Structure 1
Amino acid sequence: MIKRIITIAFVFALALQAFSQSRAADRYAAHSVLASGKWVKIRVKNEGVYAITKSKLQKMGFNNPEKVCLYGYNLPILPETYIENINDDLTEIPVWRRNDGSLLFYTPGTIKWQRKQGSPTVFTRINNPYSAYLYFFVTEKTEGQPAEMEKVSATLENAPEETTTFPEHFIIEKDEISILNSGRAFFGSENYQNGNKKSYTLSTKGIAAPSVSLNIQFVSTNGSKLTVSADSTTFSQVTIRNLAEYEYGVLINRSFTFTKNLTESSTITLLHTRDTGISGYLDYIMGFYTRKLDLTGSNYLAFRSADSSSSKKYAISGANENTRVWCVAPDQICEIAGTLENGKYIVNTDQDSQKKEYVAVNTNATFPEPEIVGSIKNQDLHALSNIDLVIIVPASNKLTAQAQRLADAHTQYDSIRCVVVRADEIYNEFSSGTPDATAYRRFMKMLYDKAGKVSDRPKNLCLFGDGVWDNKMQTPTMSKNNPDDYLLCYESENSLHHTDSYVLEEYYTLLADAKGIKPLKDKPDCGVGRITVTTANAARNIVDKLIGYINNSQAGTWKNTICFMADDGNANTHMKDADGVAKQIETLYPDYRLRKIYWDSYNREESGAGHSYPGAAKDIMNQMEEGALIMNYTGHGSARMLSHEQVLKRSDFEEWSFPHLPLWFIAACDITPFDMSVENIATTALQNPKGAAVGMVTTTRTVYAAQNSKINLAFMRHVLSQKETGRQYTLGEALAQSKCDLIGNGAMSHRDSLNKVHYVLIGDPAISLPIPTYKVKVDKINDTNINDETIQTISAGSIVSVQGHIVDEDGNEAPEFNGIISPTVFDNLELVTCNNNQGEDVTPFQFYARTRTLFTGSDSIKNGRFDFTFPVPLDINYSDEKGLMCFYAINSEKSIEANGAFHDFAIGGTNENISNDLQGPVLVASLNGEKFSNASTTDSIISNVLQSSSVTMHETPYFIGVIQDKNGINTTGSGIGHEITVIVDNDPNMTFDLNRTFKYETGTWTTGSVYCSLPELSTGKHKLLFRAWDVLNNPSTLEVEFDVRQGLKPNLLSLQIKGPVRNNELTLIIENDRPNSALNIDVRIFDMTGREVWNGKETGASDSNYYTYTCNLNGANGHLQPGVYICKASISTSNGAQASDSKKFMVVAQ
């Protein structure tokens, strides 16, 4: 329906090649005209002549009409190509001044008409997809005179014949509904399913010839026929084909020429013949006819030439002494000199062209007045330069404070230059106040062009606000929303096909000259990401998460894990693709532990609701709890779920409460069609205040597996690597560079082009993965030096010592590094054969994975060196193949991290000096802090142990188990029945494998712990059996009896305030007896007079007995003044029972 503007100007292209970077910078004013003076924004809705009356000017605050002037672009929509040639900043528009102090001006409105190539009397039109209004600015000049229309005249040597007609156009159109909720096309809401015949009156005022050309565009939701009639005479019948795959409507466009005598009241009738259930909607009826140059009964008449000629003599009927003719071409606004002769106004023009537009005006008539939007504050975006991160927020200003917090965090922790800009400020300087997506791009291009060197160009654009396909909010479902709460989306012309329709986020990042002609194949010049949010509260939650990620508040071993997930079926395609990416990572980045959760390697269960993979779902949940740097999924999906088996649902992303935030890459269809205004996985995950994701690279539309693999490989390669500058790629840069790789020299298929466009970043594009910068190196195993020629073998039942050191980014030893190292030791790779659960005619897929964990512990690092010891259990593979040691280290100041991996050792055989110990480990069980043990009190590894007494618990107790054995603990989980387990009431469905949670205490390989949250238990007595094994496969068990009682209130054991309050942030540490349980936190702050000065609430859970709550004391009443205050914290559960404690604290002067 609406065609993208493509203005191909060869002369411009030649000129662009000559521009240097300095010339590019010279295109821009040093300061915007809006930087000083009084400015009032006005707007108009339709094409026509408008009057700004003296009283209207006085209402705006202007009392001297002679000094008032009008600024703006007066373009229906900004061009999308060669944007470097658009006038910079606002330009003054010449106006017609009347003696009464009013100003007249003409505007084409928001519809751009342009002649069809090769046909001077047929037009196409482009409807502004972003705004129903055109905006201007009124100001008062303090120096010089305002611009007035210059009068120009032409002397014709050979007087041509009078021109008394012109080619006119009209359109019958209503933009009310969307078929797909995608793209720029909108249709009339009248459904031909409800009465399949509709008539429309043609707008042929002043028709001068019998011929009328019509262009009709109509959409049907399936195969049917459309019959076209005019004044009861049938002219054509169009057969509409059936829908193709992924298509939601068939759009037909037909042109007709009627030569019968039509009148100004003639009608056209459309008959839609179709089967039941098929809908049809009119897009538009566009008409072209020859119209008389007659001003009779009108205050103005816009007209144009029918051909290109060196001169014209226009004779306009119905004129009077107040008639004037203006030239209103975009590059020339002036009065054309003319004379009144016998009721005709005669004007001569020379060098006339088809680009010229004229308006005959009765300058003494009454015209509509523009609407006053309001005064604007002075602004000066043109003064900006050398910005790394641009954050655009919606015009409503609701999200600005949170966006500024994010910018400040980037500046503080990443040392990058940021600016937060409201969308309306960008419109003001770069699209004359009219909402237009190209304004964002023009602003970014200005920063790009003004950069003195490449390092000063913008690196990322963060669209800090949601967007929808219906930018004008004109459909019934969107009309209730305020456009100022959203940022614009650049939508495709195609609005009916789920793969060919798109939202193009990188449109704003096409910054080099001459880009935009082929936006699908143009390489982005910086990164872009969108934070899909509309409310301040949701924005605060997101920014809290992002700042915690940026300042590395959750350091830990989880950063060493990358998890790959793959769907079943499709001839193993998804597993092959996922495993291909995993192999790339294993080759390029061997320091990571790769976890593989492929659906088909699990048992598939069947029920009335369909198939499911509960084992895969459980392992994903466990991995999220443990944490992962990246979660990467390949397969089927939708906005509501991953895979047809619903292994993950949107509700999972909504409910997860885990502190470690992974980056998700999801190669599946329709995961985040954010612009379609549907609840989706990516937005849900980002807005989850307690976890789920730091961001997500995923799809907005239907995508194809072959192309998915390409962008998955490219993105994973870049996001884990560094740029030439030595800095880590940000998420936005990594995605942009991945798309550049795919584009290559531009010789890519249409499907390849579309597929990459469908991938977007939902999240902050300026964030980098928190990859450790230092490296861990192994020097010795069992006091034997490591070398490239010898591979040492460690055997079952042996005790292994490992020594090594830390090196910095340059590979130099780091003797200043003191802290903790956390090693994890894995057995060799095992070949896993999948089940072919789909029963396809294929060989079951096979892949390699490390399924046995031999040791997870920690030890100290002193002066850059470490030495730790671990036992090798009997339950190994005995393969004599290579194992893996993964390392994570952090210094005492938590300012430097290191990681690394060691592969050059084998695992196999049995130690000749194995112990003959037959004693199982000592066990201690803790339920919500109440402790039980299988050992005597004097032998117990934890004091204050209850021996056999039963205690009372709430419905969801939290279990912690401590295990001690002089030979070490078996955590491989590979021996039959050798898992560390908890069994409640001897119920197989209440049996929990805790191997994955086991971790040795720092500096020892004899004592460690496990944990789990028990599901909700019924009221009454219960038994819990805790079982564990040592590395020699000696078992121990501990049985605990306890009562469950509903309604028990939580215990608030202590309330601590962390340090003095600075920057108006108060951090509370709330010790309680409900770890991993949902708690309602209520915090109130009082001054010493008892007056409440602040309050806050949240619901969350902590993985320990300590809940951290941060109070942002910048509230509606401003920040707290220095002094002493009382903080009261209350905790409660869903039953409402509450416990409270209070503490004094001091706010110090900033």
Structure 2
Amino acid sequence: MRISFTIILTLFIQILYAQSVLNKNGMIKVATSTEGVYKIDSQFLEAAGENPSEINPNKIQVYGMPGGHIPQSNSIDYPYDPQPLAIKVKANTNAVFEENEAVYFYADAVDNIDYNFENEFYEYSNNVYSDSIYFFIDINAEQTNSIASISSENINVDQSFNWYDAVYFHEVDEVNILRSGRKWFGESFSINRTQDFTFELNNDIASSDEISLTTHYLAQTYNEANLKIRLNEYELASESLERVSDFTIFPYREKGKLLENRSTIASSLVSGLELNISLTHEALGAGRSDGYLDYLFLTVPQKLNVLNSQIVIRNRGFQQIGNYELKIGNLSNDHYVWEVSDPINSKELIMNNGSFKFSQTEERRERKFVTFNANSALRPEYIGTLNSQNLKKSTSPDYLVITFDGFNESAQKLASYRENHNNFSVEVAKISEIFNEFGSGRRDVSAIRNYIRYYYLKNPDKLKYVLLLGASSYDFKDRIANNTNLVPVYQSRNSLHPVFTYASDDFYGFMNQNEGFWAEESNNIDELDLGIGRIPAKTKKEAADAVNKIIYYETNPQAFNKWRNDIYFIADDEDGNIFHRDSEELSKYVIDNFGFYNINKLYLGAFEQEVFASTQRSPKMREAINDMANKGALIVNYIGHGSESSWTNESILNVSMVEEWNNIDKLPLFVTATCEFGRFDNPNIESGAQRMLLKPDGGAIALLTTSRPVESSSNATLNRSFFQHVFKSQNTKPKKLGDIIRQTKNSGIVGVKNRNFILLGDPAVTLAEPESNVQITNIMNEEGETDTLKSMSKITVSGLIENNLKQIMSDFDGELTIELYDKPQASSTIDKAESEFNFMTFDQVIYRGKSSIQNGEFSFSFYVPTEIDYRIDKGKFSFYAKNDNQLEDASGFNNDFIVGGSSLMSNNDTAGPDLALYLNDREFENGNRVGNDATLIVDLFDEHGISISNSNVNPGITYSIDGGEDIKLNDFFYYDKDSYQEGTIEYDLQNLKEGNHYITIKASDVYNNKSQATIEFEVIGEDDIELLDFAIYPNPAQSNVNIRLRQNRKNAQVMVQYQIINNQGQLVYSHEYTTNEDFRIDQWDLRNQNGEKLSPGLYFVRLFVRSVEDNAKTDQIKKLIIIN
């Protein structure tokens, strides 16, 4: 593509002076689909809703950009705003647009057709983003760009031409083989092995050169096959088709081989105005042998005679420096010839003695001309009339939000939050305005990149983060049903190899001059200069929910909790334990370098597996993952096999499980080094990663995930890079996700294979790492030792909260969460299909409690239980601190002590702990009714403390239902603040079966004295809504009364109304509200609707409950006596 000096100059002016030509109301947007000269006349203006009599044709100006693709490479200068096209005005000067008047402009080709001077043939590539190009018409321009005329009177001709190269192509985009990449294919040859394609010529064939045919064909053949190509009666070629591996056996190998054939035939052998191309797919063996036509591209030398239609004149003879003459037959005085080699600055050639002459002043410069008259000029398609817009602001922001137009409200809300919360300067841009201003209306991904780069070039040190708010699709042109290409994603050129094809937003972050082309045939790496993230919302609600979730993550006090210290490593069990080994390497790196994080390992090979309907499943692994979601984690890292909807062949995690999570207060950052789990550009599916991100009440805050199949080796490289960059350095603030992804990818990309790793989430989100530090100042046991924790000894620990400058934070008042870990324990896999794999776990918690922090200092005590590992070795304290006065937290660890041995202090405690059991709330009474989901509440007390050991001898705290398996609850027990004697468990029970049941709780104190307790309950199903409890107390009532209710639909939105009716049946008071609480106590002051005290007597209280979701309802009536 040749870009004029005017465009280059305008580019720098636009960046410097920040003004768009679209910053004006009333600009008319039009589309063209055919290359040629177009006219604006009174008929067009009327169709556009304008009154021609009010328009001066001499004040019309058309703006646009060159056709084809916007260049990917940053090194190719291209305008950052629609340019003023050269126009020709045929009108008088009376300032009225009359019927015979017109304004003419040239519209470039939609597709790319360029001459390859090296190989001496024309090349064609269709525009993958659009079937039209667009222009903007200013009907009241202050300045116009009249076309310049070129006189050829004094040119001495070196060579004359009376023929031109006419180009024709056939391409139908119907099939995208992998639903990935930018390549689509047309007619299938699996059934119709021979197909004919007819081209109607618009001028006689010239015998002076040769006809050239380029055939692009996709072969999907397992066995030998040929493609035969014929033009009319002549066979041009018989090509052997390259074979591919059987897809069913090798699903991750290339899905086809592209054949490119270029054939020529002397034009003197062909006559007539019709050419027939015949293709035959000849299968020579058994098995699959299919094919698809990509395109046919014909170059035909034709006589240069004027037609009723326009002629676009190309000629391969215009190569050498010299003077040339065009001899056009049948030319009349009402015809014009424009040179359109520069599509912005067309020139009009002046006829000289019946011909047109021009000079070629440099070699290998492609020249192009158009001949037309008023009748053959085309009319553009009216698209709409625009409001003013100007995205070119004078200063560069910190943060860009590029949003689908319909999500602008959510984008503005997030922008306002970032301005206030992060002190960012923010710009929000609607995607349609970006395409108008930087792509002249085309939905080309390079227009988005150019918009971002516009601000980057203003100040490379300013812009850091770009959020794309809106779903994308592998289909840029809306060929598939229910397409959602709201904010397009970059698609790879490779569309056939599952591992080498990709969709990536990285393209939008390549800002350097030598970047952007992003070659796929080598390992050249473009480096991200910005943090890019995407929220693939499809609806307004999804966009609004996602923004609310981001704000909640960073500002919700309930989200400040000890889960911010936890990291989970989850691994598949196949392929020779490679996933286990990679996870071990990563976890060891974190342990060695960031000891304040608590490492949890969920390795599939270490869990029992069962066969369900011939399929392996691991219910225990699923349960462990659901427990992880309930507890929360800062980061969850998964390595292994996967799909768009699940992890591992055993489906240890799937979308249905995610849908059940309710973890809004403890959202992890997920890293999924697996195939396709993060696919986000197929409108017909919702991947697991999309569901995690877009789930409004839980899931994930963000994911570094994969949108296509990947290989384990390149996964491991990027995974290592992630953990090398995710955490804050000493004395620095926690990082933003955009910085993490940028550093991770710049250090961890391996050629093309892991380009499809993408950040789904807001790049400006700050990872919820605690910022300040918890330090221990003293550890002391009863025997006066400061470095040893013995069983049955009482330990007192003191410490403080420090900022990053190691200064005590005296204004830090709040709560400290403490976990004491025993020594690492040896574990191994039990999967018989793989060799045994040994690893260490850190899951033996000795003590878990809470302590007050005052003026930045704390102190707590506890007893070490008997059930410890008596080996002498290092233990670990893990701390999380939360400031009650502001959104501020701290973390820390200490392992400068040993755990082991026994205390010599005597003990006479022989009583087990006291247990109190409830369901849903402490108003529960034995035998009460609950719904299918309920919360188990256990209050425990013991003089010396509760054991939460996980040893085989003493499993700690367990529950069982109806005498079934004992399930551990140790991880859900916390002591009350500043107590080592009493604490509570709250545990969600889900999918309880209807009927009568009992729960048994077993627990031990630190001296291994045991207790157990049981409660009975009845489960009422949730198909109907039912009142499980309705009570009025005190009754009789004198001044106030409590109305208590419990219904069976836990966490469901219900409308509650209670009515007070006197003994004459009259309604005296009514109150109504909506809630998602299944248990509630309301208080009423015994006054009527007017605020008057009710008289003593008998009344009736009618409680009415209705489900908001399905309108199910129930009611009950109880008597109430009011006394003086």
TM-score under structure 1 length normalisation: 0.85
Q: Deviations over 1:217-240 (max 9, x none)?
A: 111222332122232443332222
Distance 2:631 2:1080 in 1: 18
**CA separation of 1:340 and 1:1048: change in aligned 2, threshold 3 A:** closer
The residue aligned with 1:426 is 434
**CA separation of 1:1031 and 1:1106: change in aligned 2, threshold 3 A:** farther
The residue aligned with 2:881 is 889
Distance 1:511 1:169 in 2: 36
Identify the match of residue 903 of structure 1 among 891, 895, 898: 895
Greater displacement, 398-407 / 820-829: 398-407
* 3-state SS of paired residue (1:208): coil
1:290 aligns with 2:301: yes
Alignment of 1:710-749 (within 5 A): 710-722=717-729, 726-742=732-748
Distance 1:984 1:538 in 2: 39
The residue aligned with 1:804 is 799
Alignment of 1:334-413 (within 5 A): 334-339=346-351, 341=353, 344-351=354-361, 354-394=364-404, 397-413=405-421
Distance 1:1097 1:853 in 2: 42
The residue aligned with 2:626 is 621
Q: Deviations over 1:482-530 (max 9, x none)?
A: 75xx111211111111112111311111112232234661101101111
Q: Deviations over 1:184-240 (max 9, x none)?
A: 11111x321222110112455432127322111111222332122232443332222
Identify the match of residue 313 of structure 2 among 302, 305, 317: 302
**CA separation of 1:141 and 1:487: change in aligned 2, threshold 3 A:** same
The residue aligned with 1:673 is 679
Q: Deviations over 1:255-300 (max 9, x none)?
A: 1122372233231211112356543211011122322222134344
**CA separation of 1:278 and 1:673: change in aligned 2, threshold 3 A:** farther
Distance 1:415 1:1105 in 2: 41
* 3-state SS of paired residue (1:516): coil
The residue aligned with 1:968 is 945
Which runs of no fewer than 5 residues in structure 2 stay unpaired? Answer: 92-99, 246-251, 1032-1042, 1058-1071, 1083-1103, 1118-1124
* 3-state SS of paired residue (2:340): strand
Greater displacement, 108-117 / 871-880: 108-117
Distance 2:981 2:686 in 1: 49
Q: What code does the residue aligned with 1:1077 have?
A: K
Q: Is the 8 A contact 2:823 2:842 kept in 1?
A: yes
Q: What code does the residue aligned with 1:347 have?
A: K
How much has 1:982 moved relative to structure 2? 1.8
The residue aligned with 1:873 is 865
1:1004 aligns with 2:979: yes
* 3-state SS of paired residue (2:979): coil
**CA separation of 1:1106 and 1:864: change in aligned 2, threshold 3 A:** farther
**CA separation of 1:502 and 1:482: change in aligned 2, threshold 3 A:** closer
The residue aligned with 2:843 is 851
Q: What code does the residue aligned with 1:524 have?
A: L
Distance 1:297 1:905 in 2: 95
Alignment of 1:418-567 (within 5 A): 418-451=426-459, 454=461, 456=462, 458-474=463-479, 477-478=480-481, 480-481=482-483, 486-518=486-518, 521-553=525-557, 554-567=559-572
How much has 1:978 moved relative to structure 2? 3.1
1:140 aligns with 2:139: yes
Which runs of no fewer than 5 residues in structure 1 stay unpaired? Answer: 744-751, 933-945, 1055-1069, 1085-1094, 1108-1127, 1142-1150
Identify the match of residue 195 of structure 1 among 192, 196, 206: 192
Q: What code does the residue aligned with 1:200 have?
A: F
Question: Percent of aligned pairs with the same residue?
Answer: 25
The residue aligned with 1:29 is 17
Alignment of 1:989-1000 (within 5 A): 991-1000=966-975
1:656 aligns with 2:669: no
Q: What code does the residue aligned with 1:829 have?
A: P
Q: Is the 8 A contact 1:978 1:1033 kept in 2?
A: no
Distance 2:125 2:838 in 1: 54
Q: Is the 8 A contact 2:150 2:350 kept in 1?
A: no
* 3-state SS of paired residue (1:854): strand
Q: Deviations over 1:1035-1074 (max 9, x none)?
A: 11112233344456257999xxxxxxxxxxxxxxx99747
How much has 1:179 moved relative to structure 2? 1.2
How much has 1:929 moved relative to structure 2? 2.9
1:1136 aligns with 2:1112: yes
Q: Deviations over 1:345-404 (max 9, x none)?
A: 43343527654443343323243311111111111211242311111112xx22111121
* 3-state SS of paired residue (2:878): strand
The residue aligned with 2:580 is 575
Q: What code does the residue aligned with 2:455 have?
A: L
* 3-state SS of paired residue (1:339): coil
**CA separation of 1:872 and 1:557: change in aligned 2, threshold 3 A:** same
Q: Is the 8 A contact 2:928 2:1028 kept in 1?
A: no
Q: What code does the residue aligned with 1:811 have?
A: K
Q: Is the 8 A contact 2:781 2:795 kept in 1?
A: no
Distance 1:836 1:407 in 2: 50
Greater displacement, 321-330 / 1043-1052: 1043-1052
Q: What code does the residue aligned with 2:304 have?
A: L
Q: What code does the residue aligned with 2:953 have?
A: I
Q: Deviations over 1:321-341 (max 9, x none)?
A: 112211112266344433365
Distance 1:66 1:406 in 2: 45
Q: What code does the residue aligned with 1:390 have?
A: L
Identify the match of residue 853 of structure 2 among 861, 872, 892: 861
Distance 2:895 2:1048 in 1: 37
Q: Is the 8 A contact 1:152 1:334 kept in 2?
A: no
**CA separation of 1:332 and 1:649: change in aligned 2, threshold 3 A:** closer
The residue aligned with 2:130 is 131
Q: Deviations over 1:889-936 (max 9, x none)?
A: 11122421111111111110111114231111111001233568xxxx
Distance 1:1129 1:1135 in 2: 10
Q: What code does the residue aligned with 1:641 have?
A: S
Q: Is the 8 A contact 1:1028 1:1036 kept in 2?
A: yes
> How many aligned positions are there?
1036
* 3-state SS of paired residue (1:673): coil
Q: Deviations over 1:748-771 (max 9, x none)?
A: xxxx22133110011111111121
Greater displacement, 196-205 / 129-138: 196-205
How much has 1:735 moved relative to structure 2? 0.8
* 3-state SS of paired residue (2:503): coil
The residue aligned with 2:238 is 237
Q: What code does the residue aligned with 1:817 have?
A: F
Alignment of 1:655-1054 (within 5 A): 655-659=660-664, 660-677=666-683, 678-722=685-729, 726-742=732-748, 752-782=750-780, 792-839=787-834, 842=835, 844-929=836-921, 950-988=927-965, 991-1046=966-1021, 1047=1024, 1049-1050=1026-1027
The residue aligned with 2:40 is 52
* 3-state SS of paired residue (1:246): coil
Q: Is the 8 A contact 1:386 1:447 kept in 2?
A: yes
Q: Is the 8 A contact 1:699 1:758 kept in 2?
A: yes
Q: Is the 8 A contact 2:117 2:364 kept in 1?
A: no
Q: Is the 8 A contact 1:67 1:140 kept in 2?
A: yes
Q: What code does the residue aligned with 1:730 have?
A: K
The residue aligned with 1:1067 is none
* 3-state SS of paired residue (2:776): strand
Q: Is the 8 A contact 1:625 1:658 kept in 2?
A: yes
Distance 1:723 1:298 in 2: 73
1:325 aligns with 2:337: yes
1:272 aligns with 2:308: no
* 3-state SS of paired residue (2:795): strand
